[in-house]
Structure 1
Amino acid sequence: MMKNTFRYLCVTLVIISFSVRAFSQADKAEKAGWHLGIQAYTFHKFSLQEAIDKAHQLGLKYIEVYYGQTLGEDIPGTMDFHMDKATQKKVLAYAKSKGVKIVASGVIICHSEAEWRQLFEFASSMGIETITCEPDYKYLKYVDQLANQYRIDVAIHNHPKPSLYWNPELFLNAVKGLSNRIGACADVGHWERMGIDPVKALKMCEGRVKSLHFKDVKEKEAGEAEQHDVIWGTGVCDVDGMLKELKRQNFKGLFSIEYEYNWDNSVPDIGKCIDYFQQEVNELF
């Protein structure tokens, strides 16, 4: 009986010790202004409610929603910046009930000034802090104007070719002269897939990085269409180097986990990514 009690106490202490350590590591990231969250597209085979549930399960407090995702059984419709106020309240209430905050949205492209304004009005109503997008060059000044009017940051994303912003030079040339509300959503995996060193690209974008679609990708093999995502620290991206560079820049913002692999059961992989991030952050800070 005493042996069982002692074994139980030892297991309990180990669990408590791990929990305290994990909390301490996450707290260090938060104090540094590094907010680890999830891009809902990671769970695009599920509803937004289910994506929020999974974020909660993973211990994540932030989510970046994407447009077109089914909202859930209890909330009809899809994520859409034309959403009515009643639906907005339901979505926000569900996220809050799970301790998850909707802080960003995208990636989106609007096709008129009226659409851009409606998008910003929606983001303002939802408490969204960052709009992730890929604006046509002709709308950049107008988007900058709206960003300052609504006090919402804009993070320009780099999809692969033929995106207007697939490499850092294109992005930096496009945003010259725009306010500091306009920055980059650095998708480090897409840079790697385009043959661009993510660490060097982050250095080039210093002062303009607003958020990240953070990932690691596998080594490309002959005949393979795309380097798929892998657990952080196991692929070809210099994850440690990227984190060190972001610390050097005194980056503050959102790391959106966008894990585009094992679509049906990615939570265990993502959990390992989170563990890796926490370990690295603990060493960095």
Structure 2
Amino acid sequence: MAFSALFYGFKSDGPGGGMKWKPGVALYSFNHFPFEQALDKADSINAVYVEGFFFHKLGEGFNGHSIPNLTDEEIKKMKGILDKRGLKMKSLYADGKSEEEWKANFEFARKMGLEFLNGEPQKQHWDAIEKLAEQYKMKVAIHEHAKGSSYFWHPDSVVMAMQGRPHFRACADIGHWVRSGLDPVKCLQTLQGKIICLHIKDLDAAGNLKANDVMVGTGVIDYPAIIAELKRQRFDGYVYIEREGNWDKNITDVDHALKFLDRLNR
């Protein structure tokens, strides 16, 4: 796989220089396809990093098992598929209805060599998850979903969850903030210093919970303002394109989004 300028092309110094963020793709963009085919799509557009999701129907070779219930042999197979394409999976969108299920997520993450889990844990599990995060030496990124579909729709709820829990961080989902009628720049400012990844999408309307997902840069989201704020914060985390539309043929859309962000980051 030939690495693109997205990985190597950042300037390192001074205001206005490119950020050393880590660009990639949320595999949920390709959720209509099994794991190996989804990786082929990410590889074909020179993505570097991918984020998995726990309910991915992985396809042949995984015996109908889902993440995080893979055997050690199946995890080895998953690593081999990634390595063959030169792709790196450093995070997983996870969920759990009990402490035991969250422990299984952390155990999978440890075996896979992930850096963090991403999700929307229920309040009654926060303290248990913090203890697991300490035990496994891993961060947990709180993901914001749209208003009405998750407790975590506003950055203030993420700030609340992080209080007294040093392993909790934030996953900034730009599109869901805008769908919920929030100003994404102000949201980024609220979470400054705590953001470890972004989910990037675009919409055809702001403040509309039924807004349609569109190609990044063609909708209502002011990405130049967002990139300017991220540069001010010297953001260096993961940036995942999450295209939630045109499901069966959106690879061109994802490629466009990666290149669009790269241009803004120069």
Query: Which TM-score applies when normalising by structure 1?
Result: 0.85
- Pick from 77, 80, 99 the counterpart of residue 67 of structure 2: 80
- Pick from 172, 187, 199 the counterpart of residue 201 of structure 1: 187
Matched, 1:244 2:228: yes
Partner of 2:237: 253
Aligned-pair CA distance for 1:70: 2.1
Aligned-pair CA distance for 1:164: 1.2
Contact 1:67 / 1:78 at 8 angstroms: preserved in 2? no
Partner of 1:166: 153
User: For the residues of structure 2 that align with 1:47 and 1:30, how far apart are their CA atoms?
Assistant: 36
Q: 1:148 to 1:33 in 2, by over 3 A?
A: farther
Matched, 1:129 2:115: yes
Partner of 1:10: none
Contact 1:41 / 1:258 at 8 angstroms: preserved in 2? yes
Q: 1:140 to 1:225 in 2, by over 3 A?
A: closer
Contact 2:178 / 2:206 at 8 angstroms: preserved in 1? no
User: For the residues of structure 2 that align with 1:103 and 1:78, how far apart are their CA atoms?
Assistant: 20
Aligned-pair CA distance for 1:76: 3.3
Matched, 1:27 2:8: yes
**Which ranges in structure 2 are unaligned for 5 or more consecutive residues?**
13-18
Matched, 1:275 2:259: yes
Aligned-pair CA distance for 1:169: 1.3
User: For the residues of structure 2 that align with 1:262 and 1:123, how far apart are their CA atoms?
Assistant: 30
User: For the residues of structure 2 that align with 1:94 and 1:152, how far apart are their CA atoms?
Assistant: 24
**Which ranges in structure 1 are unaligned for 5 or more consecutive residues?**
1-19
The higher radius of gyration belongs to: 1
Pick 1 or 2: higher relative contact order, CA cutoff 8 A, min separation 6: 2
Partner of 1:234: 218
SS in 2 for 1:242: helix
Aligned-pair CA distance for 1:23: 4.1
Aligned-pair CA distance for 1:273: 1.0
Aligned pairs (5 A) from 1:149-188:
149-160=135-146, 161-179=148-166, 181-188=167-174
Partner of 2:15: none
Aligned-pair CA distance for 1:239: 0.9
Partner of 1:49: 36
User: For the residues of structure 2 that align with 1:30 and 1:166, how far apart are their CA atoms?
Assistant: 33
Partner of 1:4: none
Q: What RMSD in Å do the two structures reach over aligned CA positions?
A: 2.1
SS in 2 for 1:103: strand
Q: Which amino acid aligns with 1:215?
A: K
SS in 1 for 2:265: helix
More divergent stretch after superposition (48-57 vs 134-143): 134-143
Query: Which TM-score applies when normalising by structure 2?
Result: 0.90
Partner of 2:201: 215
- Pick from 102, 114, 127 the counterpart of residue 89 of structure 2: 102
Contact 1:199 / 1:238 at 8 angstroms: preserved in 2? no
Contact 1:168 / 1:204 at 8 angstroms: preserved in 2? yes
Contact 2:20 / 2:235 at 8 angstroms: preserved in 1? yes
Give aligned pairs, total.
258
Deviations 1:40-69 (A, max 9, x none): 111111111111000000100111111122
Q: Comparing both structures, which one devotes a greater share of its residues to helix?
A: 1
Contact 1:28 / 1:281 at 8 angstroms: preserved in 2? no
User: For the residues of structure 2 that align with 1:57 and 1:39, how far apart are their CA atoms?
Assistant: 15
SS in 1 for 2:92: strand
Identity of aligned residues (%): 33
Contact 2:180 / 2:209 at 8 angstroms: preserved in 1? no
Partner of 1:58: 45
User: For the residues of structure 2 that align with 1:78 and 1:101, how far apart are their CA atoms?
Assistant: 21
Q: Which amino acid aligns with 2:101?
A: E
